[in-house]
Structure 1
Amino acid sequence: MILPARNHSPRAGWMVPKCFVGQGNTFAIPRALVVISALLCGSLVTADAIAQQSACGTQQTAIDYAFSSGAMWSLCLMVEESHGLTITSASYRAPGDSQRNVLQLAHIGQVLLHYHDEPDPIPQLDVAHHQERQSQGSDVLSMNDNTCAGTVLDMNDHPAAVCARVRDNRTLAKYAQRPSLHSRSLELSSAFQRDTLTWTVSFTFTEDGQVSPGLGLSGRASRTLADSRYSQTVAAHLPPLVRATVLATWRLVFDLDTPAIDTIEQYEFPLDAADGNRRPMQVTTLTTERQLRANRETFRGWRIVDASGAGYYLDPANNGFSYTHPRMHWPGYELALTRLKPCERFAAGNATVSLASRTESSTAESSPVCGLSLDDFVNGESLQGAPPVVWYGQSRVLDPHREHWPVIRNVRLTFDLLPFDWTASSPFEPVD
């Protein structure tokens, strides 16, 4: 792993090795230092992997992490004031395989916080608001040894803004009587503050190629109300805390390995009572912009696939809540598909085209028309000829209890993107 030149002291129980990180263009690393990095990280990062850093933009940081199995993730990232951590490209190499593109862009696309005593939610990502208060300082929080059980990374615009840590993951493979193989994962996270609340955006990249975006809520619950219809008593000596619903919507632009534009397929397994209660698989290719709900009766899921048949599968199995609003159509759907336009960045409170992200080319579309929300973005356009954008939403209810005072705990939304048909057999252990 290429990690930072910061001089943070290891803490007791620190699981992440001290390695190196490069920002922007390629830089030279002494051979002895690379060898030390290899010993600590469990594998040697090759000169080819180091050279890939030049593919990142000047405002972005490059990370290459090689697991002991030979699997490797290479990616570019940055932190933006409006929404925190952004992955600007990511590629994965399975052991013995070539490096394959996975993501072109990924970031949180909006967070709605709806207190139950109010008629409307509060968008936590408000670009116009942050432009107005730029002179008042940053809402991006700096990491330190108390908030990051790993390595703290500097971003060009935000020092100490990202926490990188390597964690033990689930079982990787188990064959016959052989001992099971356990995997590890690389987690990158950043945090920003809104009033008394702290939002932590994370991306986890596993040894076997999975990607898990996540959003965590912490900080202090400061909204109180005596009306028990909307609030919850946490302790006799404390004022009741107002309940709230959190809706997190992610914006994901895939860039799978083949040059052809990726396609989106919907998978369903409806019960066929006439055929012995079997569940035949139904696959539908989605070719136009649309909004879709999860269907728990048919186990509906979606696959992003390239021309070779390899792809990633999004299973909404852990999305057990729903959120609707009478004046907004899009929150009632778990998934939306749109044609890539650089100005369509946030599911609500979207800014004008002049605020196009530094991570996307403003010339990708000729004078793109920008809307205010997903309700404007989704208008039936064809997904042919341009990368599709996957918008995926999850909601949770914050029902305050004693453990949420004085600091909110254990409120987290996450989902998995599972690699599908990337190799003909497991690359981690050959089958005899």
Structure 2
Amino acid sequence: MHYRTPLLALSLLALWQSPAFAAPSTACNGQTLSKTFASGASWNLCWAVRPAEGIVLSQVTYKAPNNAARRVLGEAALSQLETAFDDGSVAPLMLTTEAGFGGNNLQTLTAPDCAGGTLRADNGRNVLCETTRSHGYFYKYTTQRQGQLLELASHSQIGARNYSVRWRFFENGTIEPSVGLSGELPVVDATAAQYGWPAMKSGKIATGFTDHALWRLDFDLDTTHANDVVEEITSTPTTDRLRKTKAITALNTETGRSFDPETKRFWRIRDGILTNGSVGQISYELVPNHYDASRANSSNASWLAQDVFFTRYNACEKYAANNPTSACGGNVSQFANAESINQQDVVVWYKQSYHHLPRSEDSNRISTVWSSFQLLPRDWHSTNPF
């Protein structure tokens, strides 16, 4: 009998742990959407609406001309957004305490909202605009090639602010998530000149603010989700700044990392096995943006202390902050608790921070402020497929 208690305890522990690290679903979550360009390149994905995140994409697959289709992302969405004002005040979290980007906050779109595109409906409401656009040169040398992209856009109204969430899927495999802010200036004060800018005819001061948007990107490269590898790549200049030395370091455990303009630090998520048929292992590179706002953390919050977090997939880790599931940590800094991410299912939590000092042109209506980054195929092919 004295052997049964430890065995029972181990069995119960295994049962308790198994849901957290259960494999993510490979089924389509919601409605399918596909785009095939004239070149033969194509994107296929699924999309659905959730109350907090708004539009959620899943099973995102890319195919280059004369190449096999490969999955890039198992799931992708905005996972939290906070506004911190320059006077020290902080607005409620948009996704979890302000009723989210979905539900009644997700706007019903009309034809003028989707000029030249196609409206997509969820539960009888048009909430997504699908458009194909030209984006200019793929390349221009002895020959030239123009390219196209697929754009998916939705809009959420939260109080006096309007947020546009835009996904661009380029013909060459690049993905560009973006969030755009419009609406009315959020805080106006008559005296706090040190925190803002005179933006009203009355002379009132519009307070400056920083938007922190965190994206959740579950990479499931190709057919197998659980063999991802994260690498940090740096190019460090020599003392005389005439040369740069490349270094590649594998990140083997969950961690948070910050940008470093001096070493041109960036990251890639690669498949642990599959190559491009030549010397490279297929991967996607995270191309950071807004280095000037990196490490912005005016509220000294742990989930904003790093610019990017890498964690192992856990079904209950949904929101970068104010995560409601009791079985998980409360925010992404707690998700990163040193579990192995080597040859595992990796989730990337990427922070976009943008500081906006208002100007007179923002009075009455803020001209849309866009903040974006890119996911770029690296060694996805052995040569340029175009």
TM-score by length of 1: 0.76
Show the counterpart of 2:130: 164
C-alpha spacing 1:239/1:148, structure 2 compared with 1 (3 Å): farther
| Contact kept in structure 1, 2:237 and 2:244, CA below 8 Å | yes
Determine helix, strand or coil for the equivalent of 2:244: coil
Task: Note if 1:183 corresponds to 2:140.
Answer: no
Q: Given the alignment, which residue of 124, 144, 147 partners 2:94?
A: 124
| Contact kept in structure 2, 1:101 and 1:255, CA below 8 Å | yes
Task: Note if 1:71 corresponds to 2:41.
Answer: yes
Show the counterpart of 2:180: 216
Encode CA deviations 1:281-300: one digit per residue, 9 max, x unaligned.
10001110111010110000
C-alpha spacing 1:250/1:222, structure 2 compared with 1 (3 Å): closer
- Superposition map of 1:386-425 within 5 A: 386-425=344-383
Deviation at 1:222, TM superposition (A): 4.2
Deviation at 1:120, TM superposition (A): 3.3
Higher strand share: 2
Encode CA deviations 1:266-292: one digit per residue, 9 max, x unaligned.
000112348x84212100011101110
Q: Which amino acid aligns with 1:224?
A: V
TM-score by length of 2: 0.85
- Superposition map of 1:30-429 within 5 A: 56-57=28-29, 60-126=30-96, 130=99, 138-157=104-123, 159-176=125-142, 178=143, 180-226=144-190, 227-237=192-202, 239-259=204-224, 261-273=227-239, 277-306=242-271, 307=273, 308=275, 309-322=281-294, 323-325=296-298, 327-352=300-325, 369-384=327-342, 386-428=344-386
Using the aligned pairs only, state the percent identity: 31
Larger deviation: 110-119 or 297-306?
110-119
Deviation at 1:147, TM superposition (A): 2.0
C-alpha spacing 1:83/1:150, structure 2 compared with 1 (3 Å): farther
Encode CA deviations 1:24-58: one digit per residue, 9 max, x unaligned.
xxxxxxxxxxxxxxxxxxxxxxxxxxxxxx9524x
* Partners of 1:185 and 1:420 in 2: CA distance: 18
C-alpha spacing 1:243/1:318, structure 2 compared with 1 (3 Å): closer
Q: Which amino acid aligns with 2:244?
A: R
Show the counterpart of 1:26: none
C-alpha spacing 1:61/1:332, structure 2 compared with 1 (3 Å): same
Determine helix, strand or coil for the equivalent of 1:302: strand
| Contact kept in structure 2, 1:61 and 1:155, CA below 8 Å | no
Greater relative CO (CA pairs within 8 A, separation 6+)? 2
| Contact kept in structure 1, 2:117 and 2:132, CA below 8 Å | no
* Partners of 1:62 and 1:141 in 2: CA distance: 21
Query: Where does the alignment leave 5 or more consecutive residues of structure 1 unmatched?
Result: 1-53, 354-368
C-alpha spacing 1:385/1:426, structure 2 compared with 1 (3 Å): closer
Deviation at 1:148, TM superposition (A): 2.0
Q: Which amino acid aligns with 2:115?
A: A
| Contact kept in structure 1, 2:154 and 2:165, CA below 8 Å | yes
Show the counterpart of 2:9: none
Deviation at 1:142, TM superposition (A): 0.9
| Contact kept in structure 1, 2:81 and 2:93, CA below 8 Å | yes
Q: How many residues align?
A: 350
